[in-house]
Amino acid sequence: MKSMVLYVTCSNEQEARSIGQKLLKERLVACVNILPTIQSLYWWNDDIQEDSETAFFAKTTDKNVDAAITLIKASHSYDCPCIVALPIEKSNPDFLQWIKEQTTKPHDNE
């Protein structure tokens, strides 16, 4: 099993918290770290726009990533949100075990 860090940007802190709670309720991530407000720059029509956003990191395993992306997309106010999974190359083994336990739903062991 491989573990990953999801990096997701949201329109504001309320949206980040709401999506983070949904991911936890479905046991699709082990924990969520919401960063303070960021400033985002991107092209919009023919100009470079700047907007405030809120980003979060969430830790999960490869087997949960697709379902986490699907849930985030369904809950997100953007048509095309930024949801990227970064591979974890090394970690303390007890933390990897904790991620696994936190994202294991009761029926996984039936």
Rule CB under 8 A: which residues touch a second copy?
A: 3-5, 7, 9, 13, 17, 20-21, 24-25, 30-43, 48, 50, 53, 55, 57, 59, 62, 65-66, 69, 72-73, 79-92, 94-95, 98, 102
Q: Which residues contact 89 (CB under 8 A, 6 or more apart)?
A: none
Residue whose CB is less far from a second copy, 11 or 35: 35
Nearest distance in Å: CB 58, a second copy: 9
Neighbouring-strand partners of residue 61: 3
The answer to whether the beta carbons of residues 23 and 29 sit under 8 Å apart is yes
Q: How many residues does this entry show for the chain?
A: 110
Nearest distance in Å: CB 110, a second copy: 20
Nearest distance in Å: CB 16, a second copy: 9
Half-sphere exposure of 48 (CA within 13 A, CB side): 3
